[in-house]
Structure 1
Amino acid sequence: MKKKIRLQDQKVQDIVIDMANDLGVSYEKSNQEYCVSIPENMGSGYIRSFEFDFGVGVVETDYLLKKEFQFHLKKGIVHPLKVIFNRESNFFHCFEEDDKLNEVKRLESVIAASTPTNNHIFKIPADQPICIFSLEINRKLFEEKIESFLPDMNEDLMNLFRDVNGIRQFYYKNYYSLEISKLISEFTECELTGFMRQVYLEGKAYEIFTLLLKQYLDDLRDPDKRQIIRQATIESIETAVSIIENEIETIGNIVNIAKRVGLNQNTLQNGFKQLYNTSVNEFIKNHRIETAKDLLESSNLNITEITYKVGINSRSYFSKLFKKKYGIAPKQYLDKVRNNKDDSRSA
C-alpha cells in the first residue's frame, strides 16, 4: 500500500518540515541545513535540505522505503525550478493534470518547472535504494543574480528563468556528465563545518548548476558532435574496456564493440579520446602488446603462440609493434627474461 504525502515546497526546508510532520517524527536543524530521518517502520535513510542566498537550495535524499511513497506538491504555489539528478534506482515523475508518467532512470537529470495549477507528483518505489540530488531555484529571488546574463542565454533558458511566476510548464531529461557526478559526490561527502561548510557547499551547488546549463546547450547539438561525455556513456565505455581486456584474443572491430555496449561508433571513439587520450584501435593495440609482455614474463608459451594469444596473426607485425613500444625485439626480451630466471634458480 502506498503512502501519499503533500508538501509545500516553497523553500527547501518546507520539504523536510512537512515530511517530518506527516511521518510523525522530529527533524534536525543546523544553521541552514534541515534533516529528517525515515522512521524504522517505514524504511531507512534521510532527506536533507540546504538553503543558500538568492533563492538557491539543495534537497538531498538517500533512503530505502518499505512501501511506495507519493509526494504531491501543493497547488496554488509557484514551486522552485527543479534540477534533479538521479544517482541510484529509477523513480517516476509527472504533472498532476498530465497523463504521461516519466521514468527517471539512474544517471539521468531532469529540469522541471510546474505551474500553480499543475503541480509535481513524484512516485518513489518500495524496496529500491533511492539517491536523488536536486537543485531548487526560486526564480523570483534568483532573478537579481541572473538578470544581466539572460540576454546572452539560449532562448528557452532565458524564457525559463524569466518565468518567475511559474506560468509555463517545462520538462527536459537527459543523462548527466561525469563532471557533474563528481561534484555531487564532493557536495554530499563534505566534512567541513560552520561558515566554511556553507561557503563550500554553495560554491559546489553553483558549479553543478553551471555545468548543467553548459550540458543543456551541448545536448542541443547533433549527438555525434557533443563535447561533454555523459556518465552513462562512461559506463558503456568502461564495459567496452572490459570486453577488450577479457577477449583480446578474439576481439571484433570497433563497430562490433560499439554495438555490444549500445553506443554508435563515433561516440565510442570520442569517449576513448576523452578518457584515455587514444583511439579504440590504439587502445586495443597497446593492450595486446602489454598482455604479450606479461605472457613473455610469466608463461612457457613461445613467441608464435603468444602472438596468436593476443589476437595478432603475423609474428613479424607483432615483433614490429613490440619493439616500437619497448625498444627491444620480443625474442631478445624473452631470452633476457629466461636468462634472469635461470640465474635466480642457480643462485
Structure 2
Amino acid sequence: MKVSISSTNIQRATQEFQQQTGGNCQFGDNETALFLTLPLGQGYLRSINLRDGLELLIYEYALQQDLIVDFCNQATQHSFTAFTFYVSGRMSSRIPGCKSRLDFTAGQTVFATIPDAATTSELIAGQKITVVALAIVPKLLLKLLENDLNKFSPDWHQKLRNAASHLCLQSIYTTPEMARILQLILHCPHQGGIRRLYLEAKALELLTFCITQLTSHCSKAAPSSWVKPKDVEALHHAKTILLQNITNPPSLAALAQQVGLNERKLQRGFQQIFGTTVFGLLHDHRMEQARQLLEADEMTIEAIANTVGIAHRGYFASAFKRKFGSTPRTYLKRLR
C-alpha cells in the first residue's frame, strides 16, 4: 500500500493518512493520534506538541501489509531537523539528494536535517516497530545551540545554520541513559497537563544527551565528520549487505570492494554515520534480533543463536548478557 501526504500540518496530515488507510483519529489541544486498524495493522502514531517548534512523535505498531509513506516536496519554510530513536524493528527511507535508500535498525539514533520536509518511508510488515522522534524547526535548534555553536567544526557550523536547505545525516550512540529516558517516554505515568509537562521535561533531557554527543562528534577538536552524500549511500548499502548476511557476513575487504570504498573509508564512515564499527553494528543487530526471537518464544535458545549467526552457545550467552544485563535463559524466564 502507498500513501501520499501533502500537508505539513499534523492534524491535516493525519486526516490524509486516515482517508487513505482507515483507522481512528483522535485530536486534542496539543496532541494528535491515529490508531491503525486491520487489515493494515495494529498500533498507533502519535504527535505531541511540546512547545512552538518542538514535536514529540511516538510510533508503535505492527503492520499486516507493507506500507510506503510519501511526504511530498514542501516549501523550504517546512524544513525540519530531527533526532530519531529506533527502539525496535527496521525501516527504510528515501530522501532527496540520496540515490539509494537508507536503512535504520533498532538501537540506532539519527540526527537529520531534511530540506523541504520531503521523505519516503518504507515500512515492512510482520514486525513490531517502535520509534520515538523529536522534530525541531531549524530556528529553535539554533536557539538551543546558540551557546555551543562555537564548539562545532566550521563545516558543521555552516551546515547547522543552513539546515533548512541542506541534507545532513549523523548517527550517534544510544547510551543507557538515553534508552532509560525513551522507556519513560513510552510508558508515561501521567495524564492531562502534567503528562505534557512530564514529556517535555524528558524530551529536553533527551536533547541534552543528544546535543552533547553531537558536539563531541562534530567538534573543532575532532576530525571532520562530514561524509559526502555518495559515501553515505555506499555506507548504508554496506550496512544492508551486512544485515542481509548475518549468518555468513563478508570480510571487511570484500564488503569494502562491494560498495566501492576502501577499508579505511568504510571503517571511518561506519563510526561517523552509525556510531560504531562495521562488525560492532553487525553484533548489535544480532543481539537485537536474538532478543526479539526470545520474546516471540517460538524457538530454543540454541536455535536462536544459530539463526543470528553465532554457533557457540556459551559465547552467545555471554554476549547477550553484556548487551541486555541477563543471560538468554534468565531473560526468557522473566518474560514467562
Scaled by the length of structure 2, the TM-score of the pair is: 0.61
On the 8 A contact 1:60/1:132 being kept in 2, the answer is yes
Alpha-carbon distance, 1:22 to partner? 2.8
1:123-160 deviation per Cα after TM superposition (whole angstroms, max 9, x unaligned): 11111111111110111344444434433445455334
Alpha-carbon distance, 1:205 to partner? 0.7
On the 8 A contact 1:79/1:138 being kept in 2, the answer is yes
CA gap of 1:233–1:99, structure 2 versus 1, over 3 A, is: closer
Distance 1:177 1:15 in 2: 32
Alpha-carbon distance, 1:56 to partner? 0.9
Distance 1:144 1:63 in 2: 34
On the 8 A contact 1:16/1:47 being kept in 2, the answer is no
The letter of the residue matching 1:45 is: G
On the 8 A contact 2:5/2:13 being kept in 1, the answer is no
Matched residue of 1:159: which SS?
helix
On the 8 A contact 2:11/2:27 being kept in 1, the answer is no
2:30 pairs, out of 29, 32, 36, with: 32
Asked if 1:132 corresponds to 2:131, the answer is yes
What percent identity do the matched residue pairs reach? 17
CA gap of 1:235–1:207, structure 2 versus 1, over 3 A, is: farther
Query: What are the equivalent positions in structure 2 for 1:154-303 lying under 5 Å apart?
Result: 154-163=153-162, 166-219=164-217
Asked if 1:4 corresponds to 2:3, the answer is yes
**What's 2:111 paired with?**
111
Alpha-carbon distance, 1:178 to partner? 1.5
Instruction: Please give the root-mean-square deviation of Cα atoms over the aligned residues, in Å.
Output: 3.7
CA gap of 1:210–1:154, structure 2 versus 1, over 3 A, is: farther
Alpha-carbon distance, 1:179 to partner? 1.2
The letter of the residue matching 1:183 is: I
On the 8 A contact 2:53/2:136 being kept in 1, the answer is yes
Distance 1:186 1:218 in 2: 25
**What's 1:47 paired with?**
45
Distance 2:153 2:205 in 1: 19
Alpha-carbon distance, 1:104 to partner? 0.5
Alpha-carbon distance, 1:15 to partner? 4.4
Q: Which moved more, 1:209-218 or 1:154-163?
A: 154-163
Distance 1:13 1:145 in 2: 26
On the 8 A contact 2:3/2:20 being kept in 1, the answer is no
CA gap of 1:31–1:160, structure 2 versus 1, over 3 A, is: farther
The letter of the residue matching 1:92 is: S
Asked if 1:71 corresponds to 2:79, the answer is no
CA gap of 1:137–1:38, structure 2 versus 1, over 3 A, is: same
Query: What are the equivalent positions in structure 2 for 1:145-156 lying under 5 Å apart?
Result: 145-156=144-155
Scaled by the length of structure 1, the TM-score of the pair is: 0.59
The letter of the residue matching 1:139 is: P
CA gap of 1:44–1:156, structure 2 versus 1, over 3 A, is: farther
The letter of the residue matching 1:93 is: S
On the 8 A contact 1:7/1:19 being kept in 2, the answer is no
Q: Give unmatched runs, 5+ long, in structure 1.
A: 240-256, 277-347
**What's 1:100 paired with?**
100
Tell me which structure has the larger Cα radius of gyration. Answer: 1
Matched residue of 1:71: which SS?
strand
Alpha-carbon distance, 1:13 to partner? 4.7
CA gap of 1:161–1:203, structure 2 versus 1, over 3 A, is: farther
Distance 2:285 2:100 in 1: 29
On the 8 A contact 1:50/1:59 being kept in 2, the answer is yes
Distance 1:210 1:157 in 2: 18
Distance 2:114 2:213 in 1: 22
Alpha-carbon distance, 1:4 to partner? 2.9
Alpha-carbon distance, 1:212 to partner? 1.5
Distance 2:144 2:191 in 1: 26
CA gap of 1:112–1:74, structure 2 versus 1, over 3 A, is: same
CA gap of 1:14–1:109, structure 2 versus 1, over 3 A, is: farther
